[in-house]
Amino acid sequence: MAAGTARRELGTLTAALNFAADEKRLEKKHVPFVELPAKPDGKDRWLTRGEAARLLNAARNGRADVRLYLPLFVMLGLYTGARKTAILTLRWPQVDLEKGRINFKQGGETNKKKAHIPIPARLMPFLRSAWRRRMSDVGFVIHDAGRPIKDIGGAWNGEDETAVQGSFGRACKRAGLTGVSPHTLRHTRGTWMAQDGVDLWKIAGWLGQSYATTVEQYAHHSPDFMDEALASADRRR
């Protein structure tokens, strides 16, 4: 069992035991101390511009039905940084092509972590093409002949031919990209913005996540993140 999985399972068990003790269903003295495994380092897999181009090209060269939705999925991931589920459940009423905005919050949702962002210029032609081919004005942006896509697949490990998952995994295999999942597209967007010197607060807002998480994930990609701190350290008193 991986350390991350063990940590989650033991954490859940510990929480359940503590809850039982709080509810007087178990004596505190019977709740064991559980030392959790160290939190594993997060994966920092992101795509270079060349790798992104290879993946998009591979998506365009899949089966005829896949070519109609996978390139758009890749572009939405790369240029909005939205999560896989947010992209697969995106409907046309959430997309304003005239004003150039995408609202990843669906009707009635109050989740502040879902972003409302402008449409990047490189993404716009893909959305306009998909709009012309839409099955319904209120239908899914990503679909297969009008049907929603439940799961687009995962990463290819570069070795096991039987482990290729879904249309996304097959595109990664054709592109020769290993360890790339749909979430890698989101991480790539954050990384590219940080490398371009975008303020971390703005990256957090674009991705719809906390500033603390953004600093942890992307500060080391930002070329000037520590400039002010360095200037302070170097300043003569």
Residue 55 CA to residue 185 CA, distance in Å, equals 10
65 lies in the same domain as 115: yes
> Can you give the pLDDT at residue 160?
55
67 lies in the same domain as 106: yes
Confidence at 113, pLDDT banded by 50, 70, 90: low
Which segments of 84-175 does DSSP mark as H helices, in order? Answer: 84-88, 124-132, 166-175
Question: By the 8 A CB rule, do 155 and 180 touch?
Answer: yes
35 lies in the same domain as 61: no
Q: Which CATH number do you get for residue 77?
A: 1.10.443.10
pLDDT digits 0-9 by tens, 155-209? 776 655 555 568 999 999 999 999 999 999 999 999 999 999 999 999 999 999 9
pLDDT digits 0-9 by tens, 122-164? 999 999 999 999 988 999 999 998 899 988 988 776 655 555 5
> Can you give the pLDDT at residue 155?
77
100 lies in the same domain as 79: yes
- Indicate whether 40 pLDDT > 70: no
Residue 43 CA to residue 161 CA, distance in Å, equals 23
67 lies in the same domain as 150: yes
Task: Name the residue among 124, 119, 121, 126 with its Cα closest to residue 71.
Answer: 126
59 lies in the same domain as 172: yes
User: What do you get for the CA distance between the two ends of the chain, in Å?
Assistant: 54
Residue 8 CA to residue 125 CA, distance in Å, equals 42
68 lies in the same domain as 152: yes
53 lies in the same domain as 23: no
Confidence at 38, pLDDT banded by 50, 70, 90: low
**Cβ atoms < 10 Å from Cβ of 106:** 14
Q: What is the mean pLDDT of residues 99-107?
A: 87
31 lies in the same domain as 104: no
Question: By the 8 A CB rule, do 89 and 106 touch?
Answer: yes
Residue 143 CA to residue 169 CA, distance in Å, equals 17
53 lies in the same domain as 163: yes
Pairwise pLDDT comparison (232 vs 34), residue with the higher score: 34
Residue 25: domain span = 1-40
> Can you give the pLDDT at residue 29?
75
> Can you give the pLDDT at residue 180?
94
Number of structural domains (the chain) is 3
**Cβ atoms < 10 Å from Cβ of 11:** 13
- DSSP-derived secondary structure letter, 41: P
> Can you give the pLDDT at residue 24?
78
Q: Name the average pLDDT for the chain.
A: 85
Lowest mean per-residue pLDDT among 22-26, 60-64, 71-75? 22-26
26 lies in the same domain as 114: no
